[in-house]
Structure 1
Amino acid sequence: MIDFRDKYKDHVDTCIKKTREVLEATSIDSLVLCSGITRTYFSDDQTMPFREHPHFARIVPLKGSDHLLQVTRDRKPLLIRVKKEDFWYADSFVEDTWWAEFFEYKEVISSEDAWNEIVDIKNSAFIGENTKVALANGITLDGINPKNLVELLDYERSIKTLYEVACIRAANKIASLGHIRAKEVFYNGGSERDIHFAYLEGTEQLERELPYETIVAINEHGSTLHYQHKDAYRKNGASLLLDAGASYNGYVSDITRTHTTDKSHPIFREIVSGVELLQKSLVDEITVGKTLKDLHESAHKKIQELLLEHKILIGNIERIQQFALSKVFFPHGVGHFLGIQVHDVGNARANAEHLRTGNKIEVGQVFTVEPGVYFIPTLLAKHRSGDTSALFNWSLIEQLLPYGGVRIEDNVHVSSAGVVNLTREFLS
């Protein structure tokens, strides 16, 4: 366990200060945050996988459902932990409650008891899923997940404290160990399932502890951006796209690497090298005041050049640009915010470029940089006939289809001293 307690105090002070500023700006006296509620599958008594609500998890590294945190404009924050008396399931494991000293800390045995501890509910807002319970306990309808308050808090979440950056860095270190172990198994001829198990072994994390399901894509499976299966029989692959992260104290990493063997097409291997260099150059371009859209457009320009260099796209450059043909090979955004959530803060896409934020790059942000080149049959099929068909080198594309695609992804922090790559310290 890495000890970040010194950074945590400053982190909590910052979070509470910013929350109080938001309360003042929205004329609300207090905010009640819930860690989340458990749900069951339809017509079943089995619970779905649970994750803590990000606004709660940012302030308190406490696992489990139904906990409440109340932040007011002047009192010490009130944290109410629900320790259920249950012989079916164990309570969320907590080594110690070192963080409790920063709150007025109470323990109760039920959600109902937790709500009974909340004080001065008048003119309060609530962020969470269990809205019926909040309404029954005095929160008004206008105070349930108020849009203006949530948006202001989301913005504050996009600027990471030193504690948050340290946790994301630790998550990168853990994930890197998994990537290194998984790579070894791939080069030893392992299947997608073998590689997945090796990744878990390397990280020493359970599947439910990972921030998202690993993407272990051998050969043409790499053309499916979020390929979810783990083929037990696909062995001795020519290429591997591995997209996998890890978690630490509720914060996550999101890393992708693409590996090839001498069985893959030499041009595909050159594309992997080209995307690697391209990705590093994009990280070097990150500048405060630019936007991710600027970086995204630069990525498309560089990918177009790479496709032309290897004669995957051919012919008139103006027409290639006119039809935006690089999007056929790079159909996703160049990056997204990272933190408590894999796609942190912004859930709705901000524009047609598949980017989840239109914000300018600022000091304190952490986001991914993940260009790629893919050979996706459904996207290519639209251009096999018609005006754009002659701009594609179909003979070469047919030879590259069996290798799926390439993605290289790092996690970067925009610090006051410059851009820090949180991934490359641990993984080449």
Structure 2
Amino acid sequence: MNPQDPGALYPDHLGVLARRADEALARGGFDHLVVPSGRLHYQVFDDRDYPYAVNPQFKSWLPLTRLPDSWLVYTPGKRPQLVYHQPHDYWHVVPAAPGGWWVEHFDIHVIRTPEQALALLPKDPARCAILGEPQSALGAASDRQFVPNNPQPVLDYLDYHRAFKTPYEIALMRQAQAHAVRGHRAAEAAFRAGASEFAIHMAYCSAVGQDANELPYGNIIALNEHAAVLHYTDLGQRTPQPLRSFLIDAGASAHGYASDITRTYAAAGHDEFQALIDAVDAAQQKMCAAVRAGFDYKQLHVDAHLALMGILRDFGVITVSPEAALASGVSAAFFPHGIGHLIGAQVHDVAGFAASDRGGRIERPAGHPYLRMTRVLEPGMVVTVEPGVYFIDMLLDEVKKAGNAASVNWERVDFFRPYGGIRIEDEVLCTGGDADNLTRPVFAAQA
């Protein structure tokens, strides 16, 4: 069996999901797991629908991301059922007949209208854990209404265990890495050729073969000082002059599973900023290598602050020790986000704060309000590691207001401000031994 073939790995993946569902339903006191794929819904005062986004609970069972008004039904001890909506329609592309590695594992019922699903869903909605968005409700005109109830004990269990990726999921995430790296290489080449943000974005999408509705999140394509806007997505049409720097945060999808990769580049001749990028990159690789079973992800975040402040001290940007910068809050002005997050069927995957599969929450460390994960690392988790340093005026003004202006060399800040900032991001699989960086080998292979 090819260890990277999703089709070969899929039966075991389904078995894991079934066992998780059995326990989750038992804890919630339900007989059936019912998961709508999601429904198209329309913009207010208009007849245009929003881009469709499949329910992540649905796509973790099935590699189907463009199948609105469909339903997954799982009952312990029975084969899962798929109610497959394939309408008669000449306005839109109709989903193809069911096919692929997953088909033999489901009892499939094709319907032509959303309402036809009612006859195929369990008899008593009250005995169902229905996981989905409110607009997925079905049966308003009948005495059997399937309205997502999202029972907390069921979600607590399923979400907690979704952090542990199956070999099937990891194989798809590796595919998503390969797609995204291909786009990153094309984007870097476009930047080197002097392209605008918009043109770089188009080069990326073309190389990946996915557009804005397929990518897992909106591309961040930032030239020069735009890199200081953490979620910059405006895509300028003109290339700034002089061209100094480029930050790209962009991923790709593979059967619903996401990649999330960031790189930063300096234009030719900007050697000192390139040296700062190199220093952050070296530190980031050490942080990735620190991903180990039993290691507290909160500590990885704190360690990242200390490492980044050491770099800024070496480059003359701060005048105090890394420890002093962390204690005073100065470090948060230069590194204002978390070190990363869980990733999988969702870019920011669920249960990053979960204390256990019965609920509860592990709070963030004081002074770090944007950290997206606080759990201890365990084998099977895939996390992003994305340290960054930025030169953000509004945050640097807060340093002055807090009385910490002497901790910063403002001439050096002025020098680096036109470059915006630096972020480097890889995805790392926690194993029973050394960290498995999913991103770096793909860049090496596509060099």
Q: TM bucket by the smaller chain?
A: over 0.9
Give the distance between the partners of 1:203 and 1:339, measured in 2 at CA: 18
The superposition leaves residues 20-58 of structure 1 with CA deviations (integer Å, 9 ceiling, x where unpaired) of 121122221111100111111111110001111011110
Aligned length: 425
| Partner residue, 1:165 | 170
Structure 1 residue ranges without an equivalent (≥5): none
CA RMSD of aligned residues (A): 2.1
Q: Note the 1:404-423 alignment, pairs <5 A.
A: 404-423=420-439
Give the distance between the partners of 1:355 and 1:92, measured in 2 at CA: 39
> Is residue 286 from structure 1 mapped to residue 297 from structure 2 by the alignment?
no
Match of 2:264 among 236, 258, 269: 258
| Partner residue, 1:230 | 235
Give me the TM-score of the superposition, normalised by structure 2: 0.90
Kept in 2, the 8 Å contact 1:126–1:134? The answer is: no
Structure 2 residue ranges without an equivalent (≥5): 354-360
| Partner residue, 2:118 | 115
> Is residue 145 from structure 1 mapped to residue 147 from structure 2 by the alignment?
no
Letter in 2 for 1:398: D
> Is residue 127 from structure 1 mapped to residue 131 from structure 2 by the alignment?
yes
Instruction: For residue 217 of structure 1, give the secondary structure of its aligned residue in structure 2.
Output: strand
Q: How big is the shift at 1:319?
A: 4.2
Q: Note the 1:297-336 alignment, pairs <5 A.
A: 297-315=302-320, 319-336=324-341
Give the distance between the partners of 1:166 and 1:317, measured in 2 at CA: 39
| Partner residue, 1:40 | 42
Kept in 2, the 8 Å contact 1:131–1:144? The answer is: no
Q: How big is the shift at 1:138?
A: 3.8
Kept in 2, the 8 Å contact 1:20–1:71? The answer is: no
Change over 3 Å in CA distance of 1:317–1:346 after alignment to 2: closer
| Partner residue, 1:211 | 216
Instruction: For residue 59 of structure 1, give the secondary structure of its aligned residue in structure 2.
Output: coil
> Is residue 274 from structure 1 mapped to residue 279 from structure 2 by the alignment?
yes
Letter in 1 for 2:32: S
Change over 3 Å in CA distance of 1:375–1:285 after alignment to 2: same
Instruction: For residue 185 of structure 1, give the secondary structure of its aligned residue in structure 2.
Output: helix
Match of 1:50 among 45, 52, 74: 52
Give the distance between the partners of 1:95 and 1:76, measured in 2 at CA: 17
Change over 3 Å in CA distance of 1:294–1:3 after alignment to 2: same
Give me the TM-score of the superposition, normalised by structure 1: 0.94
| Partner residue, 2:90 | 87
Q: Note the 1:5-24 alignment, pairs <5 A.
A: 5-24=7-26
Give the distance between the partners of 1:134 and 1:291, measured in 2 at CA: 46
Q: How big is the shift at 1:70?
A: 0.9
Instruction: For residue 44 of structure 1, give the secondary structure of its aligned residue in structure 2.
Output: coil
Instruction: For residue 84 of structure 2, give the secondary structure of its aligned residue in structure 1.
Output: strand
Give the distance between the partners of 2:399 and 2:35, measured in 1 at CA: 50
| Partner residue, 1:393 | 409
Change over 3 Å in CA distance of 1:95–1:117 after alignment to 2: closer
The superposition leaves residues 115-148 of structure 1 with CA deviations (integer Å, 9 ceiling, x where unpaired) of 210134352111112364267664688x711112
Letter in 2 for 1:37: R
Instruction: For residue 399 of structure 2, give the secondary structure of its aligned residue in structure 1.
Output: coil
> Is residue 59 from structure 1 mapped to residue 56 from structure 2 by the alignment?
no
Q: How big is the shift at 1:95?
A: 7.7
> Is residue 426 from structure 1 mapped to residue 442 from structure 2 by the alignment?
yes
Give % identity: 34
Kept in 1, the 8 Å contact 2:313–2:321? The answer is: no
Give the distance between the partners of 2:177 and 2:323, measured in 1 at CA: 41
Give the distance between the partners of 2:207 and 2:238, measured in 1 at CA: 22
Larger displacement relative to structure 2 (310-319 or 413-422): 310-319
Q: Note the 1:89-104 alignment, pairs <5 A.
A: 89-93=92-96, 96-104=99-107
Kept in 2, the 8 Å contact 1:295–1:334? The answer is: yes
Q: How big is the shift at 1:314?
A: 0.5
Kept in 2, the 8 Å contact 1:124–1:139? The answer is: no
Give the distance between the partners of 1:4 and 1:317, measured in 2 at CA: 45
Kept in 1, the 8 Å contact 2:306–2:322? The answer is: no
Instruction: For residue 368 of structure 1, give the secondary structure of its aligned residue in structure 2.
Output: strand
Give the distance between the partners of 1:94 and 1:241, measured in 2 at CA: 41
Give the distance between the partners of 1:58 and 1:291, measured in 2 at CA: 27
Give the distance between the partners of 2:422 and 2:143, measured in 1 at CA: 52
Change over 3 Å in CA distance of 1:262–1:144 after alignment to 2: same
